[in-house]
Amino acid sequence: MSAFEPVIGLEVHAQLMTRTKIFCGCAVSVGGEPNTRTCPVCLGMPGALPVLNAEVVRLAVRAGLGTGCAIQTTSVFARKNYFYPDLPKGYQITQADLPICLDGQLLLDDGKVARIQRIHLEEDAGKSIHGATGTRVDLNRAGTPLVEIVGHPDLRSADEAVAYLRALRGILVTLGVCDGNMEEGSLRCDANVSVRPIGSAVFGTRVEIKNMNSFRSVRDAIMFEVERQVGLITDGDRVRQETRLWNVDLARTESMRSKEEAADYRYFPDPDLPPLHLDPAWLDAQRADLPELPAARKARYERDLGLDLRTATWLTDEPPRADAFDQSVAGMPDLAAPFAVFLMTQVQAQLQRVERTWPELVDAMPVLLRICGKWRGGQLSNKMLADLLQTGFADLTQPLATALTGAESQAGAVLSDDAALEPVVDAILAQFPGEVAKYRAGQKQLTGFFVGQAMRQLAGKADAKVITALLARKLDV
């Protein structure tokens, strides 16, 4: 098994965040009544002609700039010819020989650089729904703008593939190119997987895997496929070049019914669309308009805020979350690192319990920071903090920021003045004379026991540090 290494390249389709379709003025939308977002162009009616959406160009260029591609000042649209019910014209408009971006790269977490071959623009197809009476076709999605980002086969493990996809997603989301939602299909990933003996310079027969709609699926599918291929080879069999689908329920890749004939897409330049020329001055303006990219942001978190790699990566993965974080901690560098950890642990734990999502949290970020500050400053005990977060997150009747503010005011103030706490401490010491004796005999770790007892007495609403200080004063004389 270990004598083989996987060779993996990803092809990622990202839906561009435009208002309208790539070649017509129909609104881009998810769902809706079938065939209500159509016009002669996206239905492929006789005489209808494509007109390119300028925003599509801007977003593709941003994707290219964000991945270090060379933006091509001339690119050409081509027709890819095949028949399918959800492909209205009998051809898909895409880019073939002259795509809009070439030769980029992605920096993975482990420092590896994975190369991007090309980014090209194309139109999405509609949806076919196969049923008992026949196949129903909804063309609302037909003409939705996509970029396809084709990576070189530079990846050597399922984890690396996931890291590549994460890095790419982070860039696309940061740049506002794509919303990055894999479940809804606005980010789709196909993987070309082969294996070869370690040390071999030639590639093995490659299999394309489709239908992976989460990071988890990408990882599992590739791991499964690598094992399957290695199994075939070690059994003396050979890998067949084919397309396989990931079956998430059965956790395996399955062969697609093989097509009768090899596809011949007969690509040729679309005569309806002259070449797309980009003005170098406009390109410079686009370059200047780029925000901080995830790799730079992550490096800044580690360097300037002292975050560890794991926290920095986690925070960067969701660009809106990182943006909100940056905004809230501006001017308080000391609190930044603990706040990041607070988000990744305490807040993330809440999200696993309740139906809230990170976008909702963006608005609540200032409140969360205030709560974290109080907790760090001792104005909230651990117990109070846990209760507060639980109450706030569980209240789905109002926005999170409002719910948390409510829970915060109910939490009240922590008991931290000696006058209030001293009688409690005295009572605990009186209650446990044996433990007091042991402590004085040298078992200093009993401090925790006394603090715990006191906190229990106080329902957790006390500053443990003040109690610890009181105990020290009384026991260490």
Partner 1 sequence: MAVQIDGALVQQVAKLAKLSLTDADLPAVARDLERVLALVGVLDEVDVTGVTPLVHPHELGLRPRADEVQPGFTQDQALANAPAREAGHFLTPRVIG
Partner 2 sequence: MTTLAAAEAQIAARDAEIGAFLHVETLRGSTDGPLAGLPIAVKDNIAVAGQPMTAGSRILRGYVPVRHATVVDRLLAAGAVLVGKTNLDEFGMGSSTELSAFKPTRNPLDVTRVPGGSSGGSAAAVAAGMAWASLGTDTGGSIRQPAAFCGLAGLKPTYGRVSRSGVVAYASSLDQVGPLAKTVREVAQVYAVIAGHDPHDSTSADQPVSAVAWRDDLAGLRIGVAREHLDAAEGLDPDVQARMHDVLRALQDRGAILVPVSLPHTRHGIAAYYLVATAEASANLSRYDGLRYGQRAENPQTLEALYTQSRAQSLGQEVQRRILLGTFALSAGYQDAFYQKACRVRRKIADDFHAAWQTCDLLLSPTSPVPPWPLGQMTDDPLAMYLMDAFTVGPSLAGLPALSVPVGVDRQQLPIGAQLVGRPFDEATILAVGDVVQRAFATGAA
Pairing of β 243-247 and β 207-212? parallel
Q: At 416, which helix (H) or strand (E)?
A: none
Question: Does the protein bind partner 2 through residue 246 (CB under 8 A)?
Answer: no
Burial of 286 (0-12, 13-18, 19+ CB in 10 A): middle
Quick one: DSSP state of residue 97?
A: S
Question: Cβ of residue 182: shortest distance to partner 1, in angstroms?
Answer: 24
Give every CB contact of residue 366 below 8 A, 6+ residues apart in sequence: 328, 401
Q: Which of residues 245-284 bind partner 1 (CB under 8 A)?
A: 257, 261, 264, 266, 269, 271, 273-277
Question: Cβ of residue 274: shortest distance to partner 2, in angstroms?
Answer: 6
User: Which span sits near partner 2 by CB under 8 A: 78-86, 250-258, 305-313, 419-427?
Assistant: 78-86
Q: Which does 89 bind (CB under 5 to 8 A by kind): partner 2, partner 1, none?
A: partner 2
Question: Does the protein bind partner 2 through residue 135 (CB under 8 A)?
Answer: yes
For the beta carbon of residue 24, count every other beta carbon within 10 angstroms. Answer: 21
Question: Does the protein bind partner 1 through residue 134 (CB under 8 A)?
Answer: yes
- Between residues 48 and 248, which has the closer beta carbon with respect to partner 2? 48
Cβ 138 vs Cβ 85: under 8 Å: no
Q: At 290, which helix (H) or strand (E)?
A: none
For the beta carbon of residue 151, count every other beta carbon within 10 angstroms. Answer: 26
Cβ 94 vs Cβ 56: under 8 Å: no
Task: Out of 21, 79, 169, 297, name the contact with partner 2 by CB under 8 A.
Answer: 79
- Between residues 29 and 443, which has the closer beta carbon with respect to partner 1? 29
Question: Does the protein bind partner 1 through residue 83 (CB under 8 A)?
Answer: yes
Calpha distance 432→434 (Å, rounded)? 6
Question: Does the protein bind partner 2 through residue 448 (CB under 8 A)?
Answer: no
Q: What is the dihedral of CA 137, 139, 143, 146, to 10 degrees?
A: -60
Alpha-helix residue ranges (DSSP H) falling in 277-357: 280-288, 294-304, 309-317, 319-329, 333-342, 348-351
| Amino acid letter, residue 229 | Q
Question: Cβ of residue 363: shortest distance to partner 1, in angstroms?
Answer: 27
Question: Does the protein bind partner 1 through residue 287 (CB under 8 A)?
Answer: no
Question: Does the protein bind partner 2 through residue 279 (CB under 8 A)?
Answer: no
Task: Out of 31, 111, 131, 271, name the contact with partner 2 by CB under 8 A.
Answer: 271
Cβ 356 vs Cβ 389: under 8 Å: no
Question: Does the protein bind partner 1 through residue 53 (CB under 8 A)?
Answer: yes
209: nearest Cα among 15, 9, 13, 14 = 9
Question: Does the protein bind partner 2 through residue 418 (CB under 8 A)?
Answer: no
The packing angle between helices 358-376 and 400-411, to 10°, is: 20
Question: Does the protein bind partner 1 through residue 85 (CB under 8 A)?
Answer: yes
Q: Which of residues 206-245 bind partner 2 (CB under 8 A)?
A: none
Task: Out of 81, 181, 379, 447, name the contact with partner 2 by CB under 8 A.
Answer: 81
Q: Which does 20 bind (CB under 5 to 8 A by kind): partner 1, partner 2, none?
A: partner 1
Task: Out of 33, 110, 355, 417, name the contact with partner 1 by CB under 8 A.
Answer: 33
User: Which span sits near partner 1 by CB under 8 A: 34-42, 109-117, 354-362, 376-384?
Assistant: 34-42
Question: Does the protein bind partner 2 through residue 74 (CB under 8 A)?
Answer: no
Q: Which of residues 101-130 bind partner 2 (CB under 8 A)?
A: none
Task: Out of 3, 70, 129, 290, name the contact with partner 1 by CB under 8 A.
Answer: 129
Burial 373-411 (b: 16+ CB within 10 A, else e): bbbeeebbbebbbbbbbebbbebeeeebbebbbebbeeb
**What is the contact surface with partner 2 in residues (CB under 8 A)?**
40, 43-52, 79, 81, 83, 85, 88-91, 135, 137, 264, 266, 268, 270-274
**What is the contact surface with partner 1 in residues (CB under 8 A)?**
18-20, 24-27, 33-40, 43, 51-57, 81, 83-85, 128-131, 133-139, 257, 261, 264, 266, 269, 271, 273-277
